[in-house]
Chain A
């Protein structure tokens, strides 16, 4: 359903992403793993057209590489950015409203659903998002991204800076989202946690895809174990 071809991102003279290809099948969870500075976030920002890029992005067979960010979101791709980036000057409720900016008709129903899935947010719905803990902010960021009812949900480093218990809760929720039919791309340094719930995985190093396989195989691969799983 989603394809990236020969994606290139340059920052001045530095080439952060060097012509990578990705393919995601509908209904799967796919991981993109790699260490800090490998080009993961640049890849995602380029997919969303937040930064200039070269190459092709195809979504349900349609070329979306030239669309502006807001149009890409309207087509059904939603990115939970690195570092959560909730609007700290808005309340939890207003953050969710922003997520549903173009989805007025389902806004109220979806909000109820989010408060059910992420029960801790409900008690804090009128608090400023800046007062939430890191874990709660991550939940809010995911809930906010879901408010546009995406078909493809992309998560950039969702486990970053979170306690192990919260990470495992979050990955459970991600599995639940897959069951609801949402296709998911997870970008992670925490390779083990990501691959464990994934169907397929890509490994990125220095802006290039160096390996790709079923997640199950990657988890057993010696190279991956040595490099990313601390084995």
Chain B
């Protein structure tokens, strides 16, 4: 049973990790909790749903989902956040705007597709059962974990080894000085929104495969939990967000596995852990001390 549950936890944790990275990266560059991020994941899932229904090609569906989610992310930044940043508006105005964008996206998709959950179709090979160390699991959970792992490595490589990634890390500490390096900060922020949105759309597709239905509010709770994962891991840190995501995935699955009576409290577990970690380590596990930064 342990192996079985571990596989479940890995795939659930992968989804949280993918979505948490977007929260943490946007926070890193803008000091903004992008509450619309969970809905970007929903936009990705719906884009995949529509594309797959129309074209029958799942790989095309994934590409379109990444593309549409990225565009939505860019537009959110350009239309909703940038004008406020240019005016040097208080951070709280940005936060309220983010919540506004979230409501807007949820209601837009409610209008377009209706609020009733839709069955999410995907190629049958995802359901193929795999026997591994005596456990049985659908191929999808292996794919989800492997893809997430690869994506994480690529993102970490990008942030630590390329000059664009290093500049993004530098923005987190001192945006004005990055400008003084002759760097177009706006371009890097857009890059952050693209990476975050692309990862969220992957998370959305994985979520839709695991609970094969989607609805316009699917991003709300998952988004909040991924946000909890980002804070748990230390907001601003990408590896922290991934670790936070997996901690949440494991705790959710194992608490329910060992204490089936607690199943009803499944969704509360994320927030319980969040409070617990913050009590003892306010900056989170991989916490970045932004007090020392001069944003």
Binding site for B on A (CB under 8 A): 48, 50, 68-70, 73-74, 78-79, 81, 83, 85, 87-90, 94, 97-99, 101-102, 130, 144-145, 148
Report the Cα distance A132→B79, complex, angstroms. Answer: 41
Q: What 9 A-B pairs have minimum CB-CB distances, sorted nearest first?
A: A73-B182, A69-B179, A85-B177, A87-B170, A70-B184, A98-B181, A102-B182, A70-B182, A101-B183
Binding site for A on B (CB under 8 A): 163, 166-167, 169-170, 172-174, 176-185, 288, 292, 294
Residue from B170, B185, B292 within 8 A of A98 (CB atoms): B170
Main secondary structure of the interface of B (DSSP, over half): helix
Nearest-Cβ distance from residue B4 to partner chain A, whole angstroms: 41
B181–A89 touching, CB < 8 Å: no
Nearest-Cβ distance from residue A36 to partner chain B, whole angstroms: 19
- Chain A residues with CB below 8 A from B166, complex form: 90, 94, 97-98
Residue from B163, B170, B180, B183 within 8 A of A89 (CB atoms): B170
A79–B180 touching, CB < 8 Å: yes
Report the Cα distance A148→B167, complex, angstroms. Answer: 15
- Chain B residues with CB below 8 A from A145, complex form: 180
- Chain A residues with CB below 8 A from B163, complex form: 97-98, 101
Nearest-Cβ distance from residue B189 to partner chain A, whole angstroms: 13
- In the complex, which residue of chain A has the Cβ closest to the Cβ of B294? A85
Most chain A CB atoms below 10 A, which of B183, B185, B294: B183
B169–A90 touching, CB < 8 Å: yes
- Chain A residues with CB below 8 A from B176, complex form: 50, 69, 81, 85
A88–B173 touching, CB < 8 Å: yes
Kindly list 6 other residue pairs between chains A and B, CB separation below 8 angstroms, not including A73-B181, A90-B166, A102-B183.
A50-B179, A74-B182, A88-B173, A89-B170, A89-B172, A89-B173
B174–A98 touching, CB < 8 Å: no
- In the complex, which residue of chain B has the Cβ closest to the Cβ of A73? B182
- Chain A residues with CB below 8 A from B182, complex form: 70, 73-74, 101-102, 148
Residue from A50, A83, A99, A130 within 8 A of B181 (CB atoms): A99
B173–A87 touching, CB < 8 Å: yes
Report the Cα distance A85→B181, complex, angstroms. Answer: 12
- Chain A residues with CB below 8 A from B167, complex form: 98, 101
A101–B181 touching, CB < 8 Å: yes
Report the Cα distance A96→B99, complex, angstroms. Answer: 39
Nearest-Cβ distance from residue B170 to partner chain A, whole angstroms: 5
A70–B179 touching, CB < 8 Å: yes
- Chain A residues with CB below 8 A from B169, complex form: 87, 89-90
